[in-house]
Amino acid sequence: MRKQVSSLVIRRLLIALITLVIVSFAVFFATALLPGDTATILLGQSATPEAIEGLRNAMHLNDPAILRFLRWIGGLFRGDFGTSYANNVPIADLIRGRFANTMKLAGLTAAVSVPLALTLGITAAIWRGTLYDRFVTVATIGIISVPEFMIATLAVLLFAVYLRWLPALSLTNEIKSFHDLLRVYAMPVVTLTFGVSAQMIRMTRAAVVETLNTPYVEMALLKGASRSRLVLKHALPNALGPIVNSVALSLSYLLGGVIIVETIFNYPGIAKLMVDAVSTRDLPLIQTCAMIFCVGYLFLITAADIIAVLSNPRLR
């Protein structure tokens, strides 16, 4: 029995690793397909062909793609992400602060949105069909349909421009107290929470409603179990798989998909860094950012799958 679980988990981890290799391959060659020549861009329109050729040689741009790929992968494994083409700074230095910022924003948003979404989803499922359930359902659909930039812009208009309660820009280096932290993060966190919670609420509600309709929950009810016992002991453990998966999907969005929010609030996160890198043809930086997103995504999805396996006695 135990052996089966560990083999399942190991297989899942292996799949994640293989996926990562395939993704790195795709990331490298997709960025290589970007139009424009790096050397030309770096030296400007007026550069002589000799100068461009010299730079290409110096940057190993004339080597075969597969060689450059292997060199890059090898570097990644040693923790050497390469050097930025645009400003000749090690990418690790560029990313370090940005990554911490992104994680901070994602962490805060997760800390707010996950408990909120699970509570709303589960309670809506318990009182399904009631006014409360309808309100939650309509509200989540309403929020899903409003694009993030709209919420963010409205929030800025209301809280920063009219009410002047919060700063319009999230300047993280101005944080000196907990109060500052709240002020700086309030709007981006709320905007992102709106975006990611809706999906989690809907998935949680659907999963719990489905298990509440099963014969074993009816059986528990006929054994005299209370409502909270029905939900917490009988329904939730069986709904865990889909719930954890929807949480993982929502959180992975926080790692890489928050470009709009970062832009509107001028928040120095990793998504913004990547977009800037695209406009400067900074290939190593783009590749590294893409890899970070993929690793984060894979980590979350794999973790969700493993939790789902462990929570199911039929697989355990």
The binding site for another protein (CB under 8 A) comprises 213-226, 229, 233-234, 237-238, 311-314
Distance in Å, CB of 216 to another protein, minimum: 4
Residue with Cβ nearer another protein (211 or 250): 211
CA distance 22 to 28: 10
Residue with Cβ nearer another protein (113 or 123): 123
Q: What single letter denotes the amino acid at residue 14?
A: L
Per DSSP, what are the bridge partners of residue 90? 83
Distance in Å, CB of 4 to another protein, minimum: 13
CB 227 within 8 A of CB 286: no
CB 109 within 8 A of CB 196: yes
CA distance 253 to 300: 10
Residue with Cβ nearer another protein (78 or 314): 314
| Tokens coding 209 | 């409603």
| Tokens coding 135 | 């309100």
CB 260 within 8 A of CB 224: no
Distance in Å, CB of 223 to another protein, minimum: 4
Residue with Cβ nearer another protein (181 or 225): 225
Residue listed under structure tokens 């309660």: 165
Per DSSP, what are the bridge partners of residue 83? 90
Distance in Å, CB of 101 to another protein, minimum: 40
* Category of 143 on φ-ψ map: left (φ > 0), alpha (ψ -120 to 50) or beta: alpha
Helices 91-126 and 270-279, axial angle in degrees (round to 10): 130
SS (H, E, C) 22-45: HHHHHHHHHHHCCCCCHHHHHHCC
Distance in Å, CB of 128 to another protein, minimum: 10
How remote is the C-alpha of 255 from its chain's centroid? 3
Distance in Å, CB of 235 to another protein, minimum: 9
Distance in Å, CB of 236 to another protein, minimum: 9
Distance in Å, CB of 233 to another protein, minimum: 8
Residue with Cβ nearer another protein (52 or 240): 240
CB 116 within 8 A of CB 196: no
CB 82 within 8 A of CB 281: no
